Amino acid sequence: MNLIDLEKAKPGMMLAKSVYTLQEVLLLKPDVRLTEKNIHIMKSWGIHEIWIGDAAGEGVVGHTEMEHELRTFIDDELRAKFSETLPDPLMEEILRVAGNLLEKRLLKKEKKHGAQKP
């Protein structure tokens, strides 16, 4: 199972987990083979990452479990802090970009500190 950016998704890949909108509406269930149409629909709903679970997703660089847990933590913290503004699509996008920046900074620090260990 691999968490990948939706931009790297290709028709024929199989979903490993359900895909929900930001409003928690189910878009696609697990074990669905991706098509151009459902990739386009996910993009139009603002989906940025999906879980792929078959050989068609092999070789696509995804996120490690630690990176996913970090991103979940960041998203939860940002949503808690800015919960009053979340129904606004612009704020959702601002929070997504802020989360990306925080994740990159934290992963960069972790790699730097990990490289310094003997």
CATH number, residue 36: 3.90.105.10
pLDDT, one tens digit per residue, over 67-106 is 777 878 888 888 888 877 766 778 878 888 888 888 888 7
Asked if 8 and 63 touch (Cβ cutoff 8 Å), the reply is no
Q: What is the pLDDT of residues 98-118, one digit of tens each?
A: 888 888 887 776 666 554 433
User: Does residue 35 share a domain with residue 9?
Assistant: yes
In this structure, are 50 and 76 located in the same domain? no
Q: Which residue has the tokens 């990739």?
A: 39
SS3 10: coil
Residue 71, domain extent:
65-116
Same domain membership, residue 53 and residue 75: no
Instruction: Assess whether 7 and 53 both reside in one domain.
Output: yes
Number of domains, the chain? 2
Task: Give CB contacts under 8 A, 24+ apart, made by 15-23.
Answer: 15/50, 15/51, 15/52, 15/53, 16/51, 16/52, 16/53, 16/54, 17/50, 17/51, 17/53, 19/47, 19/50, 21/45, 21/46, 21/47, 22/46, 22/92
Does the pTM surpass 0.85? The reply is: no
Q: Which of 32, 57, 82 is the last residue of a domain?
A: 57
